[in-house]
Structure 1
């Protein structure tokens, strides 16, 4: 009976996701096949549906997105990163500092415990932040809630921004990187790269390894001409939906009930970080020959995979966006423990929320 009920819930989620994705597609929102499933999953999760995306499915979806990103790597963007590496690193450090400042403020106001606020406000990959937070003794539920609230807010803001810019200025950025009808051998080679890249990265315990591994391996082979990257549209659509469901189903009735007292502070902090990143993006367009949408996505404090999907759908410069996002992820992982200790010291001695 439970299995039948679960299958019925998945079928209902699929149907609602399809309707929302179709509506968002008609409204010309980028990443509609991510947004629709994510919004549907939030509704199902909060309403009490006991659904969960299997971890292998989520990792496989990340590997597919990694290959999609790898296809867009070209010598021009590599030259840009090498030529303006110092400036890009400065933007990354400023964004990390903004997240740390927000975490410090949440700690001082006793909205969240110190180390939890540190990991929750870190602008890196959500899954990696949750894993490291648990390793360093923070409450992974609070960190996951804060991280995925921010992912949802960033996805909605970035999609709305891309939609607005498309109306104001027409098409932006590069053309779509996905061939219409890839050959069977090309698809097989791409899936092989996804499997090998993800397997190696996960074995080496790289952060967001299922995404980063195929992205790095595929980019190297594609840029050097040793492999051609291509994926059929239905497979990409499935990857988008799985990532959207994975994020949305994290929002359950129980977690909302437990975190409701912190939600206003989390939302305010999230919007503040997004606004700060938007300001950094505007400054970046004055220093580099890139459009605002590309700069906004590059500096957005969202999930690596979600931002990649939006960048592709909005026809932004995917390589530049993911290069900055990946650099920031590794920067956060290197500085995270030190920042967590510094922010934890900001907690008032009396009435602290730390266990």
Structure 2
């Protein structure tokens, strides 16, 4: 024997397969040409690979220990790449080969998350609401309690992969034998098969069912807000733990109020005379949609004398409760002054008399910059 394979790997002659593999991984990481630029690294890498190829094969190792030529016994010729497993190179750098060496996968797996859309009114989004909703999801099969087998039936070891969950495929290439691993087609990677599946779930451990879920929508949610309900999603295969249920909020349009963040906005239209003289008006609150208390259904708003059309009045604390904060936003009211269009003779005379008293029979028009965006431009100006 020209070389001592045990000495090359740094192990004793009684080394186990695990010790051989551990030693080879360590040396391969050190000597591989991609990570070691020493002039002799490639040759030494080939030597330790050949040593591992021989000693990891029981038949070749036996021939070698008796002083024979293991390469001739194996019928593979000699040298690097003539029969070593590609998995061993993968082991050296990634800790596992190209195959699935973690063993068979469990039949019990976590279920998928589910997403539903829930429509609520503006007042329900603002103040919160509790709803009972119907959910169609996978639930645990009560017949087999999630096991997937009929009563008295137990999973048995797969005869194809012998419980490993995967099968090995060896292919000869110009670089030697390349071994790959794929999930077993018989047991689908579980390592066991159910000989007598449950008639209710057909071996899956779960069935589709409609159930009722109570949903608490917190105060202050907005369009697109997602509520997470842990453990209310799909039950997993094999009766595994359920995923989560997510509810995406859709807020319906309100006939009076428009929401902008934690603000509410609305318009109030008053006659020209009321705007000129000032007036107290009562407006509906958003609470009117969810309460029977008359006192909470309206609030009073004072419009000062001389208020112009388009002016914005802010009412503190009449907006939307803050979802992740304290208190409520404000209500912004736009005053729209209505100019009369149909006048009888007496009304026309009164207005003409007023114009005469104010010396406005021939008023001069004042030209100023146009408000291109109308109401929203004025709102932005008010907050600036």
Q: TM-score, normalised by structure 2?
A: 0.18
Higher helix share: 1
Higher relative contact order (CA closer than 8 Å, sequence separation 6+): 1
Larger radius of gyration, structure 1 or 2?
2
Higher strand share: 2
Q: TM-score, normalised by structure 1?
A: 0.19
